[in-house]
Structure 1
């Protein structure tokens, strides 16, 4: 350490401790501890003296020591797929956590399975009170020891694979049914689907629901359902297959926001002539002409429910595992109402 560094260290004032507060207030250290920890049995005279001493000394309790003593941090974690962009579910989690007196520590997995693993393990090591996760990986069995040790964990949007935890997600099948039947009511009989990879739970559920809709109406399945990785090339190939084949589709259902955006970019000006219903709302969807009709997820309710489930699990660790399915709704704006 240089002389200058040493001087700075010596000049820096020492943070006041509970011993200092006890001396200032003229009370026992144990009494200060009880006031700091909101013990209601301390007399009001002592509470007033100790609070005055705390204010005078600008004392701040050592949160790390409290956590070690109580095993409670009042902090929960959220590992979500993205936070760089608008994330209504994360905003709802943060709001519900704050209302419950909890601090939220959030991190983005960026749709990367290894990053998700590293983030979740790091959160487990920090001994948070609980974690909410939007799962990406194909297996989460590595979390089993943490669950066995009592870690409260809630899955949001899709279940965790390999472990049994509380889950909140949208009604994927009902949403796809809404989109399909809405287009049928507007005269379309050749309706195609482009969606996410079926390795993803929601992608698998939505593609299966669309196939079920086709089969229920006696429509062929093979050339109308196109799940897969969401890339410009793959989405472009799917569009070419459904729009330029021998029996082209007259309308389209897109399986999530990213697929919808990829479709709109690929079609460009041609998108205004293709009837589309998207699963998930899209930023600025109402500015398109025609504006985009969507199946809207109640992301605010999903986020709030995730926090409710987590708090319930913290309060009652042995309660039965619960899955909450949140209803979806149709937002009609024009694109899904174009006639064939």
Structure 2
């Protein structure tokens, strides 16, 4: 058996198709056809090439295949956080794997310049498509990539400045469900604390809560508190909502981070006495006393749908832009059922 050698101290180099052709005693083109599963190659040649491949421990150059076919078999996901639990990303990875795709993921860390850097880098790597959990206020800089055929799908919220497929939860319906649930349990003064309205989901949820107050003939002043999710800001909002002349007896929290901050600000004793419905599932929510009632997003469905939309766009770049709104589910556990 021949051994491919390199110039670095005689250390064996990675064998090439030229080495395989020499080992098998066939033409280079025959090796290429066997490697690419050409069904017209005679079985005797296939056997020779496969024996040479095994003898040399040859591995095809994936980069060469990608250049030839224009397909990488890899998709990107730019999400806001990786270090913490991210069920949508887990669903994307599983669905991609089921479809024979490899996932390259990066965390934007709620940083607009970092998001831009990551997305431009992914585009330059010529991935087959990219799923984005958007954070930045304007993504128009990606329009040339769209024009060049790069498939993009937004997840959790639309991308601004460009028109791309999107999958997200039914934010307005979720807030309405939470408000109605607390109202049915006798609460007439219900407050909301949520994310900044600079964020699409924060804006949608705060607007839906104001609409619910109006529909029930309730005033808005002192009851709606969107803003940055900081301990200082959330504690101040709680003080306004719960300790005014006409205090709220129930609370809707706008996302998981807000819920956790609210629980820390209240402390176990006060939290156990306040009716709360959180938007987003919260880790260990069933271990709280009482257990936390939440409006849960269908995170696996969102992640799976994002991959499906991306594959559909890859298959048919001219298809109409589609937005999929995924229903939410109320999970009744105890905190949202406390009476005033």
TM-score of the two chains, using structure 2 as the length reference: 0.96
CA distance in 2, matches of 1:91, 1:44: 42
Structure 1: runs of 5+ lacking an equivalent: 1-6
Aligned-pair CA distance for 1:28: 1.6
What residue is the counterpart of 1:336 in the other structure? Answer: 336
Aligned-pair CA distance for 1:35: 1.8
What residue is the counterpart of 1:259 in the other structure? Answer: 258
Alpha-carbon deviations, 1:136-159, whole Å to 9, x = none? Answer: 001001101100110000000000
Aligned-pair CA distance for 1:8: 9.4
What residue is the counterpart of 2:308 in the other structure? Answer: 308
User: Matches of residues 42-81 of structure 1 in structure 2 within 5 Å?
Assistant: 42-81=41-80
What residue is the counterpart of 1:3 in the other structure? Answer: none
Aligned-pair CA distance for 1:109: 0.7
User: Matches of residues 185-334 of structure 1 in structure 2 within 5 Å?
Assistant: 185-269=184-268, 270-334=270-334
What residue is the counterpart of 2:15 in the other structure? Answer: 16
Structure 2: runs of 5+ lacking an equivalent: 1-5
TM-score of the two chains, using structure 1 as the length reference: 0.96
CA distance in 2, matches of 1:184, 1:248: 15
Aligned-pair CA distance for 1:63: 1.0
Q: Which runs of 4+ in 1 moved over 6 A?
A: none
Aligned-pair CA distance for 1:171: 0.6
CA distance in 1, matches of 2:173, 2:46: 57
Aligned-pair Cα RMSD in Å = 1.2
The SS at the match of 1:194 is strand
Is 1:166 the counterpart of 2:165? The answer is yes
The SS at the match of 2:174 is helix
What residue is the counterpart of 1:4 in the other structure? Answer: none
CA distance in 1, matches of 2:140, 2:162: 6
CA distance in 1, matches of 2:189, 2:287: 27
Alpha-carbon deviations, 1:57-108, whole Å to 9, x = none? Answer: 1101111111122211111100001110111100000001111111100011
Count of aligned pairs: 334
What residue is the counterpart of 2:3 in the other structure? Answer: none
